[in-house]
Chain A
């Protein structure tokens, strides 16, 4: 698979994963390993910063895995900047997934506060990866203030509903000068493959893997789906026909 570059890092895998909702740290580590993901997001609020032996961090401490702390739980730009600074100090990374969702029910991102925080964090030297609604205009504004990628949602977070925003994602992908990573809502490998077929640069998947009956197998399935979707995108998909075309007859037994 062709590589993906964000800021100064190159990724072989276009599947990014998360650390929430697993039944154990051990299972989480195995799933991440199976996914071959090279970028794993972790909620700062879940990390015991003062404890160097934090079990979750230890579980994902693998040579090829980069940590991507997120600001989940903050409600405005001010809190987000504070959380990002804390993460940089604690985890020794200037990469930050910017999440600002004041709405506790649907966890929908606040576009105004996100743009404000992104601008400030870029100035502070962060690699900012903002989680946003699939808003093509906002993506362009974030790009202008220096965000290194955009992370539009496919559907409300944790819903597994798939690419409900596909029409807008297509516009974002078409217009963007920075990598587009589809985040939130991807519930199955086919959703991930679809996002890649649309031309997304990567996908971020957490719930669909963590909550499945077999997270390790599901992580592998997502890995393969992302690869297949990227391959299909590069190979250029055939045009859509109105009707199904029979590859092998189903009604010949009637003759």
Chain B
């Protein structure tokens, strides 16, 4: 298995793909909606402008499909930022190397303090996040942090710099469950503009990260695009293409999709392409109608009203009360955040909202038996 997604990806052309999406007709959308199993051409129709008048119908179908597969439950998770040190320049990120912000990496004591806070809130699944600073926050640091907290969480997911296969294998031995790694944008040239310096500027290495994860045998891989950098319809399609490739190739692995939109931050980049709330709902529904089983995740980047409604339309996992700066829960709330969150409600309020909506917040859905 030496081939990677890159081989397939390189057979596609961004402009042609976008043109193909934009040329979809109402007939294509209706055909896609009438099928029980949908393919990537159907997905193009569902994210196309032609699908806009069908949004309500898509939402109902997405809701029913999600309910059938996942029931009335929402998986709860929470991010914990370990470090904001970063050697990359990313035009849209508050952690970008050129931003003059106070940098910190949590000590063992600070990690445990944060963990105590989150455990008291009821969380059992945690997402560890770092910037990319290999000398200070490399694999040894991440592994150490995982070992420090592994007895307290049933599920540890990381969102860190892309690693080599053997490094993932090492972390899997230390109870790693899942890895989230977003391509940001699948537009090769635009990607370069947004990542001019640092290891992250290597588009291909990042693109093949999920392959390395699949080969390492991680339980779950989360992918996605950062909407706002480029055309969201094309970026959605390439995410779907990536998903389908991974499912066929690494069939023992589970997958999740996230839908981050550009949020205000210290870098100050305005979105090149606006993705409206309506567009985001269309995208989420399109993913659900493409794949009944894939997990769809929603962060606190989105507003209260949006999150209150989207939990019924295909989303299966949700974070709450997130802090996007290291030590943000208990240690040092003053450190600059990676991005501003929008839904600032407490964990308790989010859980209450879910219950009132007829949904059960699920705090534990996995146990690692190592």
By a beta-carbon cutoff of 8 Å, the part of chain A in contact with chain B is 242-244, 246, 249-251, 253-254
Contact = CB atoms under 8 A, between A and B. Distances in A.
A254 B60 contact: no
Nearest to A250: B59
B312 interface: yes
B63 interface: yes
A182 B40 CA distance: 39
Of the candidates B55, B60, B64, B305, the one having the most CB atoms from chain A within 10 angstroms of its own CB is: B60
Interface in B252-289: 277-278, 281
A249 B34 contact: no
Interface string B128-152: 0000000000000000000000000
A253 B64 contact: no
Interface in B41-67: 55-57, 59-61, 63-64
A244 B64 contact: yes
A243 B57 contact: yes
Given A242-B34, A243-B34, A244-B64, A253 B309 contact: yes
A253 B55 CA distance: 12
Interface of B: 33-34, 55-57, 59-61, 63-64, 277-278, 281, 305-306, 308-309, 312-313
B315 to A, nearest CB: 13
Given A246-B56, A250-B60, 18 more contacts: A242-B34, A243-B33, A243-B57, A244-B60, A244-B64, A246-B57, A246-B60, A249-B56, A250-B59, A250-B63, A250-B309, A250-B313, A251-B55, A251-B59, A251-B309, A253-B306, A254-B55, A254-B277
Of the candidates A243, A246, A249, A254, the one having the most CB atoms from chain B within 10 angstroms of its own CB is: A254
13 contacts: A243-B57, A243-B61, A246-B57, A246-B60, A250-B59, A250-B60, A250-B313, A251-B59, A251-B278, A251-B281, A253-B309, A254-B55, A254-B278
Given A244-B61, A244-B64, A250 B56 contact: yes
Contacts of B281: 251, 254
Contacts of A242: 34
Given A250-B63, A253-B305, A244 B278 contact: no
A254 B302 CA distance: 13
A137 B368 CA distance: 52
A162 to B, nearest CB: 13
Given A244-B61, A244-B64, A251 B56 contact: yes
Nearest to B280: A254
Of the candidates B55, B57, B277, the one having the most CB atoms from chain A within 10 angstroms of its own CB is: B57
Contacts of B305: 253
A254 B284 CA distance: 14
B250 to A, nearest CB: 27
Contacts of A254: 55, 277-278, 281
A240 to B, nearest CB: 12
A37 to B, nearest CB: 28
Contacts of A243: 33-34, 57, 61
A250 B312 contact: yes
A255 to B, nearest CB: 9
Contacts of B55: 251, 254
Contacts of A253: 305-306, 308-309
B57 A244 contact: yes
Contacts of B277: 254
B195 to A, nearest CB: 32
Contacts of B306: 253
Contacts of B56: 246, 249-251
